[in-house]
Amino acid sequence: MFKNPYNWVGLPRALFVVVNPIRFLAAIVRGRTLPDVVARTPVGHTRIYLRNYESLKTFFSVFCRRDYFTRPDPPSAFLDVGANVGIASAYFLSRNARNRIICIEPDPANLPYLEKNLLPFAGRSELRVCAVGTSAGQIEFFRSEDGKYSSMIPSSRAKIPVQVECRVFADMLREARNDSLPVVVKLDVEGMELDLVRSVDWQDYPYVRRLISESTECSAVISRAHDRRLRTGYVEDMAFTDAAG
């Protein structure tokens, strides 16, 4: 973990973000998980329930390293594709009291933690239990033991096959449309990001203000005008300059 220079920048931030930073940092250093972490957020203290050590690292990358850095204003409607246990979703929802989110997660082992982390935001969050791809139907999805690397693409980590529903990315973008809030899309789908981004014409979604993707290649295939920022070396943060609203 400490080979990444961006992690060293995030470490001091943990002292201010985490309510019990000594407990949190000790767990990080020892490679041990915690049942939960309480974060200071713009809407007050927010408790995040963790599944394992990978969840603890994800909390660090989202809340302390700021992989998906989002300002409190303006409020937005988020589409979290690959919500995992809900750490990024909780981060987005805790930026202010008006943000809303649709979470998409196909791994059944992640769902109890995701549902628990969404409970404090029950009036502002929705859950879709499915995968997202370029075509719809029942597919073979490959779970990883830790839940973090589960994917539609089998690998040495994602190797436990389960049958899940797959919905079309373009349909989910239309479902995320909000009449009063601009839309922010976050993609973390373990190798499928580029395929999903290529599958739609972003000109058709003027209400999408921002796209955050765990990739370094998506910006190059988007013709719609946008500003790109590469966060922590591998997260593309793309702000569409012609966004409506």
pLDDT, one tens digit per residue, over 197-219 is 999 999 999 999 999 999 999 99
- pLDDT of 5 reads 79
Instruction: Show the tokens assigned to 236.
Output: 């593309």
CB atoms within 10 A of CB 167: 18
- pLDDT of 147 reads 95
Helix, strand, coil percent values for the chain (each to nearest 5):
30, 30, 40
- pLDDT of 138 reads 97
- Alpha helices per DSSP H over 60-155: 87-93, 111-118
Q: How open is the CA angle 40-4-92, to the nearest 5 degrees?
A: 30
pLDDT beneath 50: ranges in the chain: none
Q: What is the CA radius of gyration of the chain?
A: 17
Instruction: Show the tokens assigned to 4.
Output: 């990444």
- Cα 25 from Cα 29, distance rounded (Å): 6
- Cα 103 from Cα 127, distance rounded (Å): 5
Instruction: Show the tokens assigned to 38.
Output: 């309480």
What is the tens place of the pLDDT at every residue in 7-50? 888 889 999 999 999 999 999 999 999 999 999 999 999 999 99
Q: Where are the domains of the chain?
A: 69-240
CA 71 to chain centre: 16
CB atoms within 10 A of CB 157: 16
Q: What is the dihedral of CA 53, 55, 57, 63, to 10 degrees?
A: -150
- pLDDT of 9 reads 83
- pLDDT of 139 reads 97
| Average pLDDT over the chain, rounded to an integer | 95
- pLDDT of 243 reads 67
- Cα 58 from Cα 35, distance rounded (Å): 14
- pLDDT of 176 reads 97
Closest listed residue to residue 215, CA positions, set 239, 244, 183, 190: 190
Q: What class, spelled out in words, does domain 69-240 have in CATH?
A: alpha beta
CB atoms within 10 A of CB 239: 15
